[in-house]
Amino acid sequence: MRNEIVAPGAGELTYEIRNIVTVAEKVQSLGVKINWENIGDPIVKGESIPLWMKEIVAAEAMNDESYAYCPTRGVLETRHFVCDITNRRNGAQITPDDVIFFNGLGDAIAKVYGNLRAESRVLMPAPTYTTHSLGEAIHANAIPVCYRLKPEDNWYPDMEDLECHVKYNPQISGLMMINPDNPTGMVYPPEILKKIVAIAKAYDLFIIVDEVYSNIVYNGERTVPISDLVGDVPAIAMKGISKELPWPGSRCGWIECYNSDKDPRFKKFINAILSSKMNEVCSTTLPQRCLPAILTHPGYREYLDERIARYERMSNITYDYLKQVPGLIVNRTNGAFYMAVGFEPGLLTNRQSLPIENREVRELVEGMVNVPGVAPDKRFVYYILAHTGICTVPLSSFNTEMLGFRVTLLEKDEQECRRIYTILTEKIAEYLAS
């Protein structure tokens, strides 16, 4: 190639959350049975799509129009449908022009941050889902700027830390939240959301809230959508069907833009996002056409409640096991289906290990952890994987300096869940003592 052709920073970031799959597959191919506690796809974890839902999709697949392009913003009827849901809450009011469908929230996230000026930064939670933090970091060609979620207080945001980041960094132009949160399972209480909106208003910022898990809450919690509280602050809510139906393979999500008429810079920003979608024509048609029929189906609420009840049960089992392990910092989760578990500072070292019988597996793991710069929780995760077959994700790969691990709460079988966490708690203790 006569020229260097790769953009600076492109392809240089590591996606530990995906790398771990490659590693676990290798370990599996060497004979170890894997428990995939890293995976956030309910279907892969064994959930069934209800027959009625599949029948809606299959019926729609018999419709020629499902094969055609849809408008750039998305299918008009579906945009009316999602507007109604929001408008009925009597918070921020929107029209179908304020809704843009994307090929999943990954696409929405890439376009939102990709149309931002490099010098304008969006403040992220830490830990956070890396699709957000990497998307924002790539746009800025710099490390993410983050506020702390407090492991000592239900993973709620450290509001002082958040406001200080806004106050002392004039490049901060927006605030991002995931509600309910991935990877912590925390649900933002309304008082905290109000404070965040107040900070955005005081400092003239916009807000992004990823609400993809908004209907997956339990332990008596409910999600307050940002549209309820946003007032006249410019904001983007990100929503989707990947996790809720669940239909992650649909790549179907959307953004709702609140108050884009209230700030000319924000309006220009939303138009730039729309333009970049326009250059790709539109997003997937079929899932958009199915969406209203599915969400209004008489069986939907019951189906969702049954799943949520199961997540609640698994969450509490997981919590009850892990909270007993000395050295772990664990919070009960209230939404989504992830739990982030921290180690108390100083507990993890670069020398701890667990025995790995299989020579090839041992060499594989040792080759990966005995290189400079490996985070101690990555070491922990790899040894647990190789020794027990239980696959988790290092917490440090979620854009935080805190060490720990993330598990998902998608185990369907309560006995299996208990078996896994019996082993895990035992082995954590053994690892820490090694």
* Helix 285-295 × helix 51-61 angle, to 10°: 140
Q: Does 153 interact with its own copies (rule: CB under 8 A)?
A: no
Q: Which is nearer to its own copies, 173 or 318 (CB)?
A: 173
**Contact pattern for its own copies over residues 184 through 203, marking x by CB under 8 A:** -------------------x
Rounded CA gap, 11 and 15, in Å? 10
**Contact pattern for its own copies over residues 346 through 385, marking x by CB under 8 A:** ----------------------------------------
* Residue 418 neighbours by CB distance under 10 Å: 16
Q: How many residues interact with its own copies (rule CB under 8 A)?
A: 100
- Residue 186: which of 175, 196, 178 has the closest Cα? 178
Is 381:394 a contact under the CB 8 Å cutoff?
Answer: yes
* Nearest distance in Å: CB 108, its own copies: 9
Rounded CA gap, 365 and 32, in Å? 13
For residue 246, whether the previous peptide bond is cis, meaning omega lies within 30 degrees of 0, is yes
- Contacts for 75 with CB less than 8 Å, ≥ 6 apart: 101, 285, 288, 289
Q: Does 259 interact with its own copies (rule: CB under 8 A)?
A: no
Q: Does 283 interact with its own copies (rule: CB under 8 A)?
A: yes
* Nearest distance in Å: CB 103, its own copies: 4
Rounded CA gap, 210 and 216, in Å? 13
Q: Does 321 interact with its own copies (rule: CB under 8 A)?
A: no
Q: Does 412 interact with its own copies (rule: CB under 8 A)?
A: no
Q: Does 76 interact with its own copies (rule: CB under 8 A)?
A: no
Q: Does 142 interact with its own copies (rule: CB under 8 A)?
A: yes
Torsion angle of C-alpha atoms 304, 306, 311, 314, degrees rounded to 10: -170
Which range of residues in 1-9, 83-91, 324-332, 333-341 is near its own copies by CB under 8 A?
A: 1-9
Q: Does 234 interact with its own copies (rule: CB under 8 A)?
A: yes
Which range of residues in 110-118, 346-354, 361-369, 399-407 is near its own copies by CB under 8 A?
A: 110-118
Q: Does 284 interact with its own copies (rule: CB under 8 A)?
A: yes
